[in-house]
Structure 1
Amino acid sequence: MSTQSFKILFVISGARINKKGLVPLICRITYNGKRKPFSTGLFINPEYWFSEKQQAKPPSEENDHINIQISLIKNKLNQAFLFLQVQQENFDVEDILLQYKGESTKAQKSVLVLFQEHNDKMEKLIGKDYVIGTFWKFKQARELLKAFIKHQFKKADYQFEDLNLKFLVDYEFFLKTEKNLSQATINKTIQRFRRIVRIAISENHLEKEPFLMYKVKRSKKEVVFLTPAELDKLEKHQFAQPRLQKVKDMLVFCCYTGLAFNEMSRLEEKHIVVGFDGNKWIKINREKTKKLVSVPILSKATSIIERYCSENIPFILPRISNQKFNSYLKEIAEVLGIEKNLTHHIGRKTFATTVLLYNDVPMEIVSELLGHSKISITQEYYARVVQSKVSEHVTKLSEKLNKK
């Protein structure tokens, strides 16, 4: 690293003359274009200061003392700078001043180091502030960023001070082309990285957000759900194989309750309560948001509860892994001729659309029953369904008006 990028300049502060007519002598250090002034504790008659020579003149006992002190300060600053060159790969002008004063330099953390620190803290908060799924997503986000840095820069890590808009644009391109991720997944991955950038700013590893001009590309979110005809076919079909029949019943149950897989799996008798209206309700906290979900138990869900609750105590429904559940659903879809990628989550979407929105339940109630943290999430996913329903009503209205 060249010492030419480090400069030391002494200047006087002419606006701060004391009663003796003396002004403070300030030392200004500059490194890589960044300045840091500090007080030397020295005072001088402004007429005796020669800026070009960086000396006090003419020779006198007082001016000689000032010149000696200036020389000592310069030597000590150069020693601090050389020490940091040897000891630290990355440091800034503030670190030089801290080293000069004999104080600990602020450790300049790299991107992947800070990301790992964040993930380590998150792991300790699983079950308190986070669920394990969220932790795994941040862990994956760090691995993707690590792969990009190695691919793009042939480095093991990257410095925050080198981040710029091009970095993020290239990262998005890498995720899309090299990792073949969908736009929705790319947006989430970058969102997690930007959280680390905000932490870096708060810890003074970075002065400002380098990605302010970055525009998130909107992803087309198509809601896949069972139509009324497909749901009816699913309900009526009886499978000879018990494993398929159980999974089918559990999917139907989710189509009429909207429970996510984790909530369905841990549903117990204690989660079924009599509500204010005298009817039975499911009251359970969503694992993802910790929000309490209250769902009225419709008759078709009730019949499934009665069929299985005595077999799986303390749980209401049969226990099965998410992987096996979705694997059996593929068999079910093939038997029924449903040409959709049938997954458990389709049950939740079917509840929102075919069961609720198609039956004119307002969006705010749908959001509440799904346990979404914000209604905007529900609106973003199901806006097209609502538009379709509005179109259907308008068509019926048009037909009625034409008959008059």
Structure 2
Amino acid sequence: TFMQTAHNCKNNGAVNLLCCLKNFILYAIRNEWLEKNPFRYYKMKVDRTNVKVPLTKEELDTLIHKPLPNDRLARIRDVFSFCCLTGLAFTDVDHLRKEHITTDEDGTQWIHKPREKTSVLSRIPLLPHPIALLRKYERDETCRTRGKLLPVPSNAKMNAYLKEIATLCNIPKNLTTHCARHTFATLAIEYGMPIDIIAKILGHTNTNMTRRYAKISEANISREMKKIGEMLSA
């Protein structure tokens, strides 16, 4: 209640903070700094109606190709779509440098970058659109001055501008920087990419973490149901 009133946290944000506190309490108990667990009988409930909703392929296509009224929003759109097509988190695209881009013997360009959060290596083959975006900003003065490959603003500014973009594109979803990572994982699942491959791209150490990102869409459900129908009718 304190976090929701004094700090304007939503339910899920408050739950996330309490989970961090709970983990520290458990650590304190293991080290015998505390005798009792104050969280023992306290249940925290995540509001499942307010979780991050990824973009569909159609919504992502609209966002990528929509003419925008100014360069400010176009640059934000480019960074967001780059994340959607690579699975990079905001802090990782912000720290993306030339040394993280490599080319293999087949001519495929890759991102090989340790995640800022966990230091686990992400290995991402680049699709044509992300490659085009990197080329677009090769000679951008702001990027060159800051030693970055893309014009990444602060997280707060990007989230604010993404709301403008969502309105212009008629996308009825709360777009945030982290929504891009969920979008990549969900679309990869939808197109049949194995979960362990997605985990390598996202830099996850196990597939349980990846499953939290990937949402099962109606397209997946329909495709699998059709397989059962074909099997039963055979």
TM interval, shorter chain, is: 0.7 to 0.9
Instruction: State whether structure 2 residue 17 is matched by structure 1 residue 189.
Output: yes
Unaligned residue ranges in structure 2 (runs of 5+): none
SS of the equivalent of 2:110 reads: strand
Q: What per-residue deviation string (whole Å, max 9, x for no partner) do you get for residues 175-225 of structure 1?
A: 568877545334433333334434544554433545445555455274411
Residue 136 of structure 1: aligned partner: none
Residue 237 of structure 1: aligned partner: 66
Aligned residues between the structures: 229
Q: What per-residue deviation string (whole Å, max 9, x for no partner) do you get for residues 254-276 of structure 1?
A: 11111111111221111101247
SS of the equivalent of 1:329 reads: helix
Q: Structure 1 residues 371 and 276 mapped into 2: Cα distance closer, same or farther (>3 Å)?
A: farther
Check conservation: 1:289, 1:373, Cα contact below 8 A.
no
In structure 2, distance between residues paired with 1:176 and 1:239: 36
Residue 172 of structure 2: aligned partner: 339
Q: Structure 1 residues 394 and 211 mapped into 2: Cα distance closer, same or farther (>3 Å)?
A: closer
The percentage of aligned residue pairs carrying the same residue is 34
Q: CA deviation at 1:326?
A: 1.9
Opposite residue 192 of structure 1, the aligned amino acid is C
Opposite residue 186 of structure 2, the aligned amino acid is T
Residue 250 of structure 1: aligned partner: 79
Give the structure-1-normalised TM-score. Answer: 0.50
Check conservation: 1:239, 1:245, Cα contact below 8 A.
yes
Opposite residue 189 of structure 1, the aligned amino acid is L
In structure 1, distance between residues paired with 2:150 and 2:131: 12
In structure 1, distance between residues paired with 2:193 and 2:32: 49
In structure 2, distance between residues paired with 1:401 and 1:373: 36
Residue 393 of structure 1: aligned partner: 223
In structure 2, distance between residues paired with 1:243 and 1:211: 46
Higher relative contact order (CA 8 A, sep 6+): 2
Q: CA deviation at 1:397?
A: 2.9
Q: Kindly report which structure 2 residues correspond to 1:4-403, keeping only aligned pairs within 5 A, or say none.
A: 181-201=9-29, 204-209=32-37, 211-212=39-40, 214-217=42-45, 219-220=47-48, 222-275=51-104, 278-311=107-140, 312-313=143-144, 314-354=147-187, 356-382=188-214, 384-385=215-216, 388-397=218-227, 400=230
Q: Structure 1 residues 335 and 196 mapped into 2: Cα distance closer, same or farther (>3 Å)?
A: closer
Q: CA deviation at 1:251?
A: 1.5
Larger relative strand fraction = 1
Check conservation: 2:181, 2:213, Cα contact below 8 A.
no
In structure 1, distance between residues paired with 2:205 and 2:7: 30
Q: CA deviation at 1:281?
A: 0.6
Q: CA deviation at 1:338?
A: 1.2
Check conservation: 2:182, 2:213, Cα contact below 8 A.
no
SS of the equivalent of 2:150 reads: coil
In structure 2, distance between residues paired with 1:326 and 1:210: 35
Q: Tell me which moved more, 239-248 or 212-221.
A: 212-221
Check conservation: 2:185, 2:213, Cα contact below 8 A.
no
In structure 2, distance between residues paired with 1:310 and 1:285: 25
Q: CA deviation at 1:381?
A: 3.7
Q: CA deviation at 1:352?
A: 1.1
Q: CA deviation at 1:373?
A: 3.6
Q: Structure 1 residues 276 and 365 mapped into 2: Cα distance closer, same or farther (>3 Å)?
A: farther
Q: Tell me which moved more, 372-381 or 362-371.
A: 372-381
Give the structure-2-normalised TM-score. Answer: 0.82
Unaligned residue ranges in structure 1 (runs of 5+): 1-172
In structure 1, distance between residues paired with 2:17 and 2:118: 19
